[in-house]
Amino acid sequence: MTQKILFIGGLGRSGSTLVERLLNELPQTIAVGETVHLWERGLRDRERCGCGQQFADCEHWSRVGAAAFGGWDKLDLDRIIDLRWSVDRSRRLPQILRALRNGVISSDQQVYLDHLRAVLLASAEIAGGTEIILESSKHLSTAALLSLDPALDVRVLHLVRDPRGVAYSWTKQVKRPEADDQLMPVYKPSRTAGRWVSDNLGFQRLAAEGVPTLTLRYEDFLAAPAQSLASITQLMGLDQPVDFPFLDGDRAHLTTPMHSIAGNPLRFGGDELVLRLDDAWKTELDPSAQRIVTTICRPVLGRFGYKR
């Protein structure tokens, strides 16, 4: 039997944490966060879990480590971190896509996947045999790598947001509560725009390789949350109709705890979410920066329904 994984993909600041928190309310799911960061940020740097506790003190993750490996201390962490960087990063994407096409997985890819799969399966087991794991690493390379594993049934929710909104978000200083309020990196709009083009085209390529994918604009999600969640549950293969009792107009009342690795500070927000589009970029992002982003993204803006 394969384990279903809903992979939340897309460029950072495209609404993935909000969507993840809403999907985590469904009884059929469990959110694990960004497993790509488990080894370094969770295990090595002991950052905080989504529940607020330090990773090492979180009972949920201790149980996952015990079920997966007989305890996290049984792992050769340095080796796994090396492996992660040798198989799961953007520049390794051509190798992963080749493996996806010819079905030949390298030994490094295999060993890394074995570790990742153990964590995912243990998470499902600890949660009482959860039907669907929400994986929100976002990275295209992680989505492609997980798709190589025949024991996993990976479906991708590809989130896209107006690149001018994404670019503006990456110019703001944001604290990381899970890491003593260190600041998240800040990027120039031109850099974000380049990433926006390559990432979004990359997810389309992955879909063309046969990975089941739903592309959803964050703006459309917020305009019709219930309808959007219904499309996502369809992608997950859940029987319709699924109720979303946590939705209340443009608000959501959350009750399910989330033990997630890394991710946006919104993870630590309250249990009340306002589902409203933040389009501050229209007035706050410098017009010349808006023009730069528009110019760089112009060849693909129309493909995702944005104004050129």
Q: How far apart are CA 199 and CA 182, in angstroms?
A: 26
DSSP secondary structure letters along 261-276: BS--GGGGS-SEEE--
Among 49, 160, 206, 297, binds Zn ion (CB under 5 A): 49
From the CB of 93, what's the least distance to Zn ion, in Å? 31
Looking at the Cβ atoms of 55 and 112, the one nearer to Zn ion is: 55
CB of 59 to Zn ion, least distance (A): 7
Residue with tokens 């501050």: 280
In angstroms, the Cα distances linking 243 to 1, 37, 88 are: 26, 32, 36
* Closer residue to Zn ion in complex, CB, 86/256: 256
> Which of positions 194-253 make contact with Zn ion (CB under 5 A)?
none
Distances (CA, A) of 156 to 71, 76, 212, 214, 299: 30, 30, 6, 6, 24
Closest to Zn ion by CB, 55 vs 281, is 55
Least distance from Zn ion to the Cβ atom of residue 257, Å: 8
Residue by residue, DSSP assigns 143-166 as HHHHHT-TTEEEEEEEEE--HHHH
- Of the two residues 63 and 298, which places its CB atom closer to Zn ion in the complex? 63
Taking CA 8 as the corner, what is the angle to CA 303 and CA 280, rounded to the nearest 5 degrees? Answer: 65
Q: Which two tokens stand for residue 74?
A: 């049984």
CA distance linking residue 205 with residue 216, whole number of Å: 16
Taking the least distance from each CB to Zn ion, the nearer of 51 and 111 is 51
Query: Cis peptide leading into 241, omega within 30 of 0?
Result: yes
Binding of residue 259 to Zn ion (CB under 5 A)? yes
Q: How far is the CB of 61 from Zn ion (least distance, A)?
A: 6
Number of residues that bind Zn ion (CB under 5 A): 5
Which residue among 58, 134, 143, 285 contacts Zn ion (CB under 5 A)? 58
Minimum distance of Zn ion from residue 267's CB (angstroms): 11
Residue of the chain from 40, 44, 51, 219 that contacts Zn ion (CB under 5 A) = 51
Residue 260 Cβ vs Zn ion, minimum distance, rounded to whole Å: 8
User: Which residues contact Zn ion (rule: CB under 5 A)?
Assistant: 49, 51, 58, 60, 259
